[in-house]
Structure 1
Amino acid sequence: MSSPEIDVLVLGGAGVDTIVHVPELPLPFADSYMIRPGIETRAGQSGDFVALGAHALGLRTHHLDMIGDDHEGELVRALHRDRGIPLTDVLQPGGTKRAVNLVDPQGRRLSLYDDSRSRETDRLPEETVRALAGASRHAHVVITHPCSAALPVLREAGLTLSTDLHNWDGDNPYHEPFAHAADVVFLSTTALADPERAMRRIVERGRAQVVAATAGADGAYLLVDGEVTHIPAVTPPAPVVDSNGAGDAFASGFLFGRLAGEPPLRCALYGVVAGAYACTVPSTRADAIGRDELLARVKELDDQDATTTTATVPSA
């Protein structure tokens, strides 16, 4: 049997964001605001950012999703074409997914997703999913409706799966098929009253070997083999300008480590380094940390830890 041609198959999450810079969040009611640097529209939603991040780290990446025959769809296709990321797009009758992101001066984001683009009947063709899965080592599944229907086909193909539940509240049943089918589950602590309880429930009810919960400036929490470990945040390499895409970058960095055979704690370190870099990228750009920069930054952190350890060991 030949080796897989694709390292990471990303399903779903292709779309376009309109970025609106606001003076503060929450935004007080007013008749109007004069804003700078202004309003811009660019391709890039969750699946796009995971694909971009994985590709930048040297992983052979392929993106599959439903995209409209519209201007926004052309922006998505152009992003992949310009970055050299293979894209298989299936026509989405309702049009390309869109969102408006309000971004404040501290880089915090509030996203407004246009829910009118998707339909209950939207599906990724089973034969296309099966063919791409058969050529892949791993699939990262975005929590959109067509991807939910593709989960059984991916599991039958025998490749490992990951998903990102984003700001799941721990109770919404919509997220459960994704959480229970994946080997690696990412999520945010933002809406969780008890993050550890939610993480353990994912493991108990599904097949996850690893659950990673990102916590912004507090770093992340990793559940492996029944033990929860805190992964401290790292200092970003430049000023923080936007948190958009940080969770997707964490996932890309983590998967880079996992597919290289690194242990989960090391994978999580890659994730927080990639996530910190993403926070320095303006919301109007789609960019990701490269492999050399990621490894160099991790080596710096290793060297710092080694120096600290040596300094604290008492002399004989």
Structure 2
Amino acid sequence: MTPSPATQPPATDVLVLGGSGVDTIIHVPELPLPYADSYMIDSGIRTRAGQTGDFVALGLAALGLRTHHLDLVGDDPEGDLVRTLHREHGIGLTALPQPAGTRRAVNLVGPDGRRLSLYDTSRARPGDRFPPRTLRSLAAASRHIHVTITQPCAEALPLLTAAGVPLSTDLHDWDGENPYHEPFAHAADVVFLSAAALTDPERTLHRIAERGRARAVVATAGAEGAYLLSDGELTRVRAVSPPAPVVDSNGAGDAFAAAFLYGRLSGETPETCARYGAIAGAHACTVPASRAESIGRDELLERAAGPRP
């Protein structure tokens, strides 16, 4: 007997909302970059698809999760790169028209792998919205939804909350004060952010949990590991040694989030999820920014089963 639509399991493990785009990667001799009339870039200047939503989707798909991505994408060469990336990696993409064009950014990458991102904010309009019918349909078919903080995801939060599907978000380098990030922080069941701009990470994590509905809040801290707040208990997550030289930190936070969500959807403890995230984030730092490559499930589980530092 064929199950009725109401009893059929979700067709998608994770719906990723927003965050598609194209980056131009430039390796520079140092950061900050001193003023000069010109620089010779011997390593080349490369443009490839992949911003935060794309990288989370890639990481989830590489770990074997059924992944779908929804965003506004331009009818332009940059949009073609985004569509091709998803097609090559077998990731479903609902690309709605964006007349302002596909998002673009320039990443300056230093010799130590640190990066400085320059975002083109002209590739969005104040009235941008996801069609409610499309959003409801994709949400209903998903076990989990990861919401990036790009426009128009903020406008979608009330509908997503009403849908009753667990949510996650990444606040990136939030300073703990900017009010734009607060609706995302308070609506999500799992919140990721970087500790880079936080003066008191522990206080910020507790405040997110107290004011919102998050059951897990993670602040990544690079080589210092991460902070994990789960069910009111704060623990430190040890950093994982990269398996190869660090060449670029771009995408490390997205890889951490993808692996953490893989663990969560597999029924693992928050501590195990965070270890998965640390392993995936360390792996991402060894991948040149010009490549779209995520750690696979077998490799992740093999490293997670190995000795801990």
Quickly name the TM-score band, shorter chain normalised: over 0.9
1:84 counterpart = 2:90: yes
Could you tell me how far 1:150 is from its partner in structure 2?
A: 1.0
Give the structure 2 partner of residue 313 of structure 1: none
What is the SS of the residue equivalent to 1:145?
coil
Provide the alpha-carbon RMSD of the alignment. Answer: 0.8
Give the structure 1 partner of residue 108 of structure 2: 102
Give the structure 2 partner of residue 276 of structure 1: 282
Q: Distance in 2 between matches of 1:194 and 1:92?
A: 38
Give the structure 1 partner of residue 221 of structure 2: 215
Gaps of 5+ in 2: 1-6
TM alignment of 1:87-236, pairs within 5 A: 87-236=93-242
Give the structure 2 partner of residue 50 of structure 1: 56
TM alignment of 1:236-247, pairs within 5 A: 236-247=242-253
TM-score normalised to structure 1 length: 0.95
Q: Which amino acid aligns with 1:197?
A: R
Higher helix share: 1
**Given the alignment, which residue of 284, 290, 302 partners 1:296?**
302
Could you tell me how far 1:36 is from its partner in structure 2?
A: 2.3
Q: Percent identity?
A: 70
Q: Distance in 2 between matches of 1:20 and 1:145?
A: 26
Deviations 1:235-288 (A, max 9, x none): 111110000000000000000000000010000000000000000000101110
Misfit runs of 4+, over 2 Å: none
Q: Distance in 2 between matches of 1:67 and 1:211?
A: 30
Gaps of 5+ in 1: 306-316
Could you tell me how far 1:156 is from its partner in structure 2?
A: 1.5
Give the structure 1 partner of residue 260 of structure 2: 254
What is the SS of the residue equivalent to 1:208?
coil
Q: Distance in 2 between matches of 1:45 and 1:145?
A: 14
Deviations 1:105-131 (A, max 9, x none): 111100000011111100111111100
Could you tell me how far 1:226 is from its partner in structure 2?
A: 1.6
